[in-house]
Structure 1
Amino acid sequence: MSTPNNQQQERLDNLQRLELESTIGFEGKVPNGLKLHPDRIHMIYPLGCNLVIENLQTRQQEFLLGHNNNISCLTISNNGKYIASGQVTFMGFKADIIVWDYATRDPYARLVLHKVKIEDLAFTCTDRFLISLGGQDDGAIIVWNMETKEPVCGSAAQHKSAGITYCLATSKEDEFQFYSAGSGTLRFWQLDVSNRKIRATDINTGIVKRIVKCMTVSLDGTFLYCGTTTGDILMIYIPACQFKTIGPEKKKYSMGISAMQALINGDVLIGTGEGKIHITEKESFKSFKTLQATGSITSLALRGEGHMIFIGTDRSHIYKVNYADWKMELINTCHNSPINDIAFPFGTSELFGTCSYQDIRIWHAPTGNELLRITEANKTCNSLCFTRDGKMIISGWDDGRIRAFYPETGREIFTINDAHNRGVTAVTVTNDCRRIISGGGEGMIRIWQINPKSRELLATMKEHKNAVVGIRINKSDTECVTASLDGTCIIWNLKRFARTQVLFENTLFQCVAYHPEEYHILTGGSDRKVAYWEAVNGTQIRELEASKSGTINGLDIDSAGNYFVTVSGDKLVKLWRYNEGDVFGIGIGHGSEVKKVKICPNTQHIVSVSADGSVFRWKFPKSTA
């Protein structure tokens, strides 16, 4: 006879990993976060606390999992053997640097000395040393030996009178030389390995005082170019450590220079805060070629000798530019803010919609391509759904309005103004497509009749004391269940517009779902538990410990009622067997808190969305039961 411990071990042994099929996401706010590997085939970029290695030809993705907080910088060794990534953490805690072995995709070294944040990383020209720069709360430069994985020496990055140091650059020819720059500081460094010291020489720029956010060294190693927040470029003659010139003289680059790369012909490629990419002349720094992207330019990566340029922006867009014909192509896009909701059209697994700050996006599930974007400036969409007939997208916004759009064009059909006075936090549509049920931040539930030319308020139900976070309707449109942050779920009669049952729990409910047979209701919340409830009388019949360290933010049940999936603040996606109440599969890969999840209508995939704006698509495992 097997003991409970043995049974538990058997279940753990049978647990399988959910296979990650594709992801949509790019952490565009990381300075120089988009890199091209020297093999010219792979693109590397951060996504929350993970690194993504994406094949440019097949679009296949691999994940490097190791950081416990968001990645703040990364660099690649000149020979392509190593990737180094640094993270940001909390005040008083150490910030890790992980050096990855590119061939095996495993950590080669974990370097821990800096506090709070790693500001920048750079390999020397021979890849023998890694230079790391701590953030504002650390303020140190440390040199690491890649063979011994030990620090060689360190120093304060700047004088006490100077501001923050933001960036590093290394010499093209001498492995013992590198440069640092920031707010009122520009320094040349010489490494003395035998005495375990680095010595700084301040580069005198005279009356010119600038904040430098990016640097690049000319390919012949003669000049150091520094991009400033005022939109001009400092040019330093490296052999003499001498400030040579500043330009352009008249027209500065709007909103500052945020990224730059030296080109093989001596020109300088720059990206600006207003989203423009310029090719500038070597000494005058006048622009003679320009392109416009969406969002501030944060990364410029060259493929090969610069015949292909890859551009990353803080709006999470990745562009590809062919240098020869100077044409720009958008190759990757995603949300750059937390995704608040996800929805599939009825009976369709090919498409799904997501909503976030300022926009709603419709995606083609198999390819991950963005098909449609609906934008509302400076507003946040909290919830969305498709009508069953597929003719409308209904959405709830933080300005208190319900907006309906055509799914084909994104054109607005109608707006319900002042639907809720503290924002529309949840919205759904009845199966007959005639009524909208909305929940607000003040706790009200409102039912709206959709007429051909008008919208009519049928009922207001006020029993919740806090924001409504989820609404689910039964198949016959006779009742709905609403979940709220006040610790209650209420089952409402939609014919009498009255409460029939209340589910009480010592938790902030975040999600609710009907079983397909509608005899059970599932809930999840801040107590990290999933509870089963009888729909008839509101009694709790089962409770599962669904997460070790995070609020249950979303759950969904498959169409047959055999499985359900949960997501939480612990960054995991968990697939459960409904009747057994045990975990059948786990999805590991999200780099931030997972916000919502849906099982595709055809039960072939699971789609989860997170706080870093990424969308993950998992294969639904074949049942072995």
Structure 2
Amino acid sequence: MALATQGVPQLELEAVIGFNGHVFSGLRVHPDQEHLIYPLGGSVILKRIEDGKQEFLHGHTDNVTCISVSRSGSYIASGQVTFMGSEAAVIIWDYAQRTIYAQLLDHKVKVEALAFSPNEKYLVSLGGQDDGRIVVWNIETKQAICGSLASPRSAGDCLTVQFSNTDDNVFVSAGSGTLRVWELDLPNRKIRPTECQTGKLKRTVKCVQISEDDQFIFCGTTSGDIMKINLKTGLLSDSGPAKDKYSMGVNVLRVLKHGDLLVGSGSGTLTLCSRTSFKTLKKVQLEKGVTSIAMRGEGQQFFVGTEVAQMYCFGCDDFKEELISTSHNSAVKDVVIVYGTSELFATCSEEDIRLWHIDMSKELLRITVPNMTCNSLDIMVDGHSIISAWNDGKIRVFGPESGRLMHIIHDAHRMGVTAIAGTRDSKRIISGGGDGQVCAWELQPQGHRLLEAMKKHRAAITCIKIKSDSKECVTASADGTWIIWDIVRFVSLQMGIANTHFRTVCYHPEEYQIITSGTDRKVVYRDVFDGSAIRELEASQSGSINGVHVSQDGGHFVTGGDDKLVKVWDYMKGVVTHVGVAHSSSITSIKICSNNRILISTSADGAILRWRFPHPSDS
């Protein structure tokens, strides 16, 4: 059965939780002072500062790597990464129309940095290490004027570019052992570099800021110091601090109106320092490296982004931070909505579990297990515990309000715990491991008891769903098998095999059918009693289906996978009723809340998306 989504109504996206904090200077404040601009996967997000309302610019085919905003705010430019040998696009967006103004193709593999000229005549783009070129674009004609290798042959990679504040024909580039002032020779369609002389200082420059009067270039280095260069002469004017250099390097700089510097370091310190002596005036320690500093207005307020996807708001006078946004900074592995509610849900990522309020998109609780990966989680029906599956072979049980570790099952699975589910009575856990084993555990007041270890799968268990009477469960495995188990007598009741790696399985609410899906891009309805395939749907045109969930009334189900599309299906008709287009990476998991009000989907770029479910319950 062919899949057709053209002309299918689009899902309404209500909110996105996510921010790619690894993009240097990726967080910007638009000159209208009302919007934050930042990347998430292949999207550029515009978020109103006052009420949090979001808009999305979609056009990139892969992750956004850099962002620049023109002085008036008429244009936003964003660059992306792509596959080896392919062209990486630069997109100029018309801010007023929220549309693509121009798509510029000249760089290979990655666009490293972008900068607009002060009067918005030109855009300069810098390619990544596989490209190594600087290109100057005419914004009006949407054409390249000229280009050049960014670094001299004796130097390393160029990492950043910055335009003059007053001259459309002058910009600066910097990187590993290279610092150049470029002048645009428009009649001859050339850019001519002048090497800056830093004397004995050999540095890798990560970030550049030019003082408002264009007198000095300030360069933040990986060595943790700042170089001050005279823009006119190209000579080193000063460097510092002499002692107490910035730990893990200077990631980002901002020159304030009065000339002092805001400095964000790789160790997470945010510092206000003197423009003359580089002496520290104020300092605050944030969680992990600072990657963005964005000024709002005349400097009364500024925003800071970190590599762990946190956003802070600061007042310039009191230098006090307010955490305004948190999100996962790596792939979200699983999502579960608290049973019987539409208010709370939990997600797991590399080393943490987070509990969220659905409507406020606000993080309520974070549970961190350093240097471990949480593969799967479930919340017990009684709401008293979060059960979680970890790559170190342990099952961890946490309190959902305190986040306190209540119980731990050591050595639950030899090759890591890969899937987990709890029974309705909240007394038993069914777990699956990388070794293909399925285990049933009984939770006791003072510990736990292994009831049975069942071994028929030959590869990692990818999904477990338990029947409502808690007497049976179904498991799916990467070996292409699914098995229905009796979890009272601990025997297999049905088994099926297909030429696929199963990623997910679930019961229809009436429990006479199960649905399986995986790398073969098919969704298959199967009879619980004899295991036969009843219906087969072609659910994706590219990539595997990684998540399936059936609504509680059984009328609809949702799918998400490597094609980045959220699809809502009519269960009886087997047709797509709505499509959600907003994810920039593979969808990893997907759930509908119990009253059919909202739908949550997660993806490999750390994003959590909240959609309005289009088929509300009659009740």
2:533 and 2:168 mapped to 1: Cα distance? 67
- 1:12/1:107 Cα in 2 relative to 1: closer, same or farther (>3 Å)? closer
Deviation, 1:624, is: 12
Percent of residue pairs bearing the same amino acid type? 49
Question: Superposition pairs for residues 263-274 of structure 1, below 5 Å?
Answer: 263-274=256-267
Q: Name the counterpart of 1:477.
A: 470
Regions of 4+ moved over 3 Å: 622-625
Matches within 5 A, 1:250-399: 250-399=243-392
| Cross-structure match for 1:495 | 488
**Aligned-pair CA distance for 1:241:** 2.0
**What is the alpha-carbon distance in structure 1 between the residues aligned to residue 14 and residue 616 of structure 2?**
18
Residue 623 of structure 1 deviates from its aligned partner by 6.8
What corresponds to 1:527 in structure 2?
A: 520
Amino acid at match of 1:509: F
Question: CA–CA distance in 2 between the matches of 1:248 and 1:20?
Answer: 48
Q: What is the distance in 2 between the residues matched to 1:316 and 1:306?
A: 23
Number of the residue aligned with 1:543: 536
- In the alignment, the residues of structure 2 paired with residue 591 and residue 36 of structure 1 have an alpha-carbon distance, to the nearest angstrom, of 22
**Residue of structure 2 equivalent to 1:58:** 51
Give me the whole-angstrom Cα distance separating, in 1, the residues matched to 2:58 and 2:617: 28
Match of 1:220 in 2: 213
Match for residue 597 of structure 2?
604
SS in 2 for 1:531: strand
Please give the secondary structure, in 2, of the residue aligned with 1:422. coil
- In structure 2, the partner of 1:159 is 152
Q: Which residue of 2 aligns with 1:510?
A: 503
Aligned to 1:417: 410
1:281-339 Cα shifts (integer Å, max 9, x gaps): 01211211011111211111000122111001110001000111111001111000101
Q: What is the CA deviation profile of residues 528-556 of structure 1, one whole-angstrom value per residue up to 9, with x for unaligned ones?
A: 11000000110001110101111100010
Q: Does 1:71 align with 2:71?
A: no
1:230-270 CA distance string (max 9 Å, x none): 10000011122221111011221111000110001110111
One-letter amino acid of the counterpart of residue 475, structure 1? S
Whole-angstrom CA distance in 1 between matches of 2:153 and 2:75? 34
Q: Distance in 1 between matches of 2:551 and 2:53?
A: 27
- Which runs of structure 2 are paired with 1:139-178 in the superposition (5 Å)? 139-178=132-171
Report the AA paired with residue 33 of structure 2: R
For residues 452 and 75 of structure 1, the distance between their equivalents in structure 2, rounded to whole angstroms, comes to 57
Query: Could you give the per-residue CA deviations for residues 553-612 of structure 1, whole angstroms, max 9, x where no partner exists?
Result: 001000000000000101110000000000010000011111000001111000000011
Aligned with residue 205 of structure 1, among 177, 189, 198: 198
Report the Cα distance in structure 1 between the residues aligned to 2:477 and 2:354, rounded to whole angstroms. Answer: 26
Residue 609 of structure 2: aligned partner: 616
Contact 2:255 2:261 in 1 (8 A): yes
Amino acid at match of 2:86: F
Paired letter, 2:580: G
Equivalent position of 1:104 in the other structure: 97
Shift of residue 392, structure 1, vs aligned partner: 0.6
Shift of 1:622: 3.8
User: Does 1:95 find its partner at 2:102?
Assistant: no
**Matched position secondary structure for 1:382:** strand
Which SS does the other structure have where 2:85 is aligned? coil
Tell me the equivalent position of 1:556: 549
1:173 CA drift (Å): 1.1
Asked if the contact 2:272–2:280 (Cα under 8 Å) also holds between the matched residues in 1, the reply is yes
Q: Deviations over 1:362-416 (max 9, x none)?
A: 0000010000000100101111111111111111100000010110100011100
Counterpart code for 2:30: H
Distance 2:289 2:73 in 1: 28
Paired with 2:33 and 2:394, the residues of 1 have a C-alpha distance of 48
Deviations 1:470-504 (A, max 9, x none): 00111111110000000000000112101111011
Asked if the contact 2:22/2:306 (under 8 Å) is kept, the reply is yes
1:408 aligns with 2:408: no
TM-score, structure 2 as length reference = 0.98
Residue of structure 2 equivalent to 1:449: 442
Distance in 2 between residues matched to 1:47 and 1:326, nearest whole Å: 27
What's 2:224 paired with? Answer: 231
Amino acid in structure 1 at the alignment position of 2:578: G
Q: Match for residue 129 of structure 2? A: 136
The counterpart of 1:26, out of the listed 19, 28, 37, is 19
Partners of 1:99 and 1:255 lie apart in 2 by 33
In 1, distance between residues paired with 2:221 and 2:342?
Answer: 48
SS, match of residue 357 in structure 1: coil
Distance 2:368 2:561 in 1: 28
Task: String of CA shifts for 1:60-106, please: whole Å, max 9, x gaps.
Answer: 10110100011110100001000000001111000100000000000
Q: 1:218 to 1:12 in 2, by over 3 A?
A: closer
Question: Matched residues in 1 for 2:391 and 2:122: separation?
Answer: 50
Work out whether residues 331 and 606 of structure 2, in 8 Å CA contact, stay in contact via their aligned partners in 1.
yes
1:12 Cα deviation (Å)?
4.9
SS at match of 2:438: strand
In structure 2, the residue corresponding to 1:325 is in which secondary structure? Answer: coil
Question: Matched residues in 1 for 2:287 and 2:617: separation?
Answer: 47
Question: Structure 1 CA distance, aligned partners of 2:314 and 2:442?
Answer: 50
- In the alignment, the residues of structure 2 paired with residue 387 and residue 180 of structure 1 have an alpha-carbon distance, to the nearest angstrom, of 55
Q: Which amino acid aligns with 1:358?
A: E
* Rounded Cα–Cα distance in structure 2 between residues aligned with 1:535 and 1:364: 35
Aligned-pair CA distance for 1:446: 0.5
Distance in 2 (CA, whole Å) between partners of 1:623 and 1:437 is 31
Specify which of 115, 118, 136 is matched with residue 111 of structure 2: 118
Do the aligned partners of 2:16 and 2:607 also contact (CA within 8 Å) in 1? yes
Aligned length: 618
Residues in 1 aligned to 2:504 and 2:616: alpha-carbon distance in whole angstroms = 26
